[in-house]
Amino acid sequence: MSMGEVARDGFTCASGRFCAYGMDRVEASDLKRMFFPKVTWEAQRLLRNHRDRFVPAQLKHYGVEYDQNELTGNGVDLLRKVLQAGLCDNVPDHIQKLKSEMHAEWLESRSIESIKGRPELIMEKCFLDQSGNPDTTKTNDMNEAAQNHVAKEAWEIQRQKDERKAERAARRAKYIGFQRYSIIGRYIINCKSIREGWPDMARRMTMAVRIADDESTNGIYEAVFDFGVFEGMMILSADKTALNEYCSLLESRNETRCDVDEDEESQFEDSHDEESQSEDSQDEESNAGTTRKATSGSGQPPENKRDSSANCREFFFYLKCSDPGIGEIGFILEKGKLKFGGFMLASFTGTMDLLCVGSEVTFTGYKMSALPPKFYASWEDYSEAEYERPRVGRWW
């Protein structure tokens, strides 16, 4: 038991957290989403990281009684059974009451100094009752002390925010100022869906963009990204037709298929009429055999390549990704779109499809450096062949 933690009836409470077996309660709606109709990647990650605790902890939170013989393996069958029976739809009143009592006991044992930096806890300790309403029985001396602490903490928090904002602005001015209107560079990423689903893994998400390292392409860009729970690579272009043709070429190089069937080809079709494609694109495709594969390089574009992003605001992309936790590669193409704006195209808003997160997932990016990045990954790293290698290896 950690310092100051209150423990009772198999639960612990401290710093606003109410845990069973060291785990917080997951909302019933989220449990159903993760375990029905099938077990999602998110659920698999929780089960893997907390194999012996996750299911017992959730059943404890919801007051579900069960025979220990029913808890087999990782407990998925038992959890799905109680979810279907509606036994996790509501938290029992006696557990809600226990949570309130333990939190009040913990808060009573804390000094104002020990909870500085948590204005909401200071307000609750000095001004509010257990229901969150103003408590007139608390002393004026404590109120005055709390007000001083709240004011001091608020000022310090704002000061730190202002300093970080000024520091970021200075860095951006330094890196962006010398280059006019280009999407090339390094970005800090923010994605609410990933941040809320995997808060511990989404603290620093990044993406880096450069011109595709392929002498046969123009207007094609590559990006590598690390979104915490996933990492991978994108191919981007403002021209959908050029993007589709280049991705088809990369896929054929990866030998993930010998012939593109109608279903696979639909992933690369433009939303516009294919009759609008010029005969020039066929000539480019006929010369594809002389091109070299995209590999890690210095980050500088080939001498005959020109950055054409200055006149573009909207880019389309395909991505492939992997789960760094288990090394599983998702070789199926996912699509998305970026819309750039701001000073010198230094920010963007995007949407993407990710199998285990959802479709049309929104994310934003803010450029922190205009320097072209070095790459240590290639499109081939996310091929079906790379997917099969570790999968087959697990059985031998």
Q: Same domain, yes or no, for 208 and 64?
A: no
Tokens 């029976």 belong to 85
284 part of a folded domain: no
| Average of per-residue pLDDT across 296-322 | 67
Q: Is the pLDDT of residue 244 over 80?
A: yes
Q: Same domain, yes or no, for 321 and 372?
A: yes
57 part of a folded domain: yes
* Domain that residue 147 falls in: 113-176
In which band, very low, low, confident or very high, does the pLDDT at 395 lie, cut at 50, 70 and 90?
Answer: very low
CA distance 34 to 55: 13
In which band, very low, low, confident or very high, does the pLDDT at 272 lie, cut at 50, 70 and 90?
Answer: very low
CA distance 130 to 102: 11
Q: Same domain, yes or no, for 163 and 190?
A: no
Q: Is the pLDDT of residue 391 over 70?
A: no
Q: Same domain, yes or no, for 130 and 251?
A: no
First and final C-alpha spacing in the chain: 42
User: What's the one-letter identity of residue 270?
Assistant: D
* Better pLDDT: 294 or 113: 113
330 part of a folded domain: yes
Query: Residue 262, SS3?
Result: helix
Q: Same domain, yes or no, for 169 and 202?
A: no
Which of 69, 94, 109 is the last residue before a domain boundary?
109
366 part of a folded domain: yes
In which band, very low, low, confident or very high, does the pLDDT at 248 lie, cut at 50, 70 and 90?
Answer: confident
CA distance 127 to 123: 5
99 part of a folded domain: yes
Highest mean pLDDT among 19-28, 244-253, 293-302: 19-28
| 84: CB partners within 8 A, 6+ apart | none
Tokens 């992003």 belong to 309
Q: Same domain, yes or no, for 34 and 77?
A: yes
Which of 130, 153, 176 is the last residue before a domain boundary?
176
Q: Is the pLDDT of residue 291 over 60?
A: no
Q: Same domain, yes or no, for 168 and 247?
A: no
Please give the sequence-ordered ranges of beta strands (E in DSSP) within the chain, or none if there are none.
6-8, 11-14, 17-20, 185-190, 205-211, 220-226, 231-237, 314-323, 328-341, 347-354, 358-369
272 part of a folded domain: no
DSSP class of residue 237?
A: E
DSSP state letters, 45-73: HHHHHTTTTHHHHHHHHTT----GGG--T
In which band, very low, low, confident or very high, does the pLDDT at 67 lie, cut at 50, 70 and 90?
Answer: very high
Of the listed ranges 11-20, 126-135, 285-294, the one predicted with least confidence = 285-294
| Tokens at 301, concatenated | 């574009």
Q: Same domain, yes or no, for 138 and 249?
A: no
Q: Is the pLDDT of residue 225 over 70?
A: yes
Q: Is the pLDDT of residue 288 over 70?
A: no
Report the interhelical angle of 93-108 vs 119-126 (nearest 10°): 90
Q: What is the pLDDT of residue 13?
A: 95
Q: Is the pLDDT of residue 282 over 50?
A: no
| 50: CB partners within 8 A, 6+ apart | 23, 57
CA distance 349 to 183: 13
Which of 109, 129, 157 is the last residue before a domain boundary?
109
Q: What is the pLDDT of residue 299?
A: 47
Domain count, the chain: 3
| Average of per-residue pLDDT across 32-39 | 91
281 part of a folded domain: no
| Average of per-residue pLDDT across 259-287 | 45
Hey, what long-range contacts does 79-82 have (CB within 8 A, 24 or more apart)? Answer: 79/31, 79/35, 79/55, 80/35, 80/36
Q: Same domain, yes or no, for 148 and 191?
A: no
Q: Same domain, yes or no, for 26 and 57?
A: yes
pLDDT tens digits along 327-379: 677 667 889 999 998 767 889 999 998 767 878 899 999 988 887 777 767 78
Q: Is the pLDDT of residue 275 over 50?
A: no
Q: Is the pLDDT of residue 169 over 90?
A: no
* Better pLDDT: 14 or 146: 14
In which band, very low, low, confident or very high, does the pLDDT at 295 lie, cut at 50, 70 and 90?
Answer: very low
pLDDT tens digits along 135-158: 666 555 555 555 565 566 666 777
* Better pLDDT: 338 or 114: 338
HSE on the CB side for 172, CA within 13 Å? 18
313 part of a folded domain: yes
Q: What is the pLDDT of residue 208?
A: 92
Q: Same domain, yes or no, for 135 and 256?
A: no
Q: Same domain, yes or no, for 258 and 203?
A: yes
Task: Give the strand order in the sheet containing 11-14.
Answer: 6-8, 11-14, 17-20
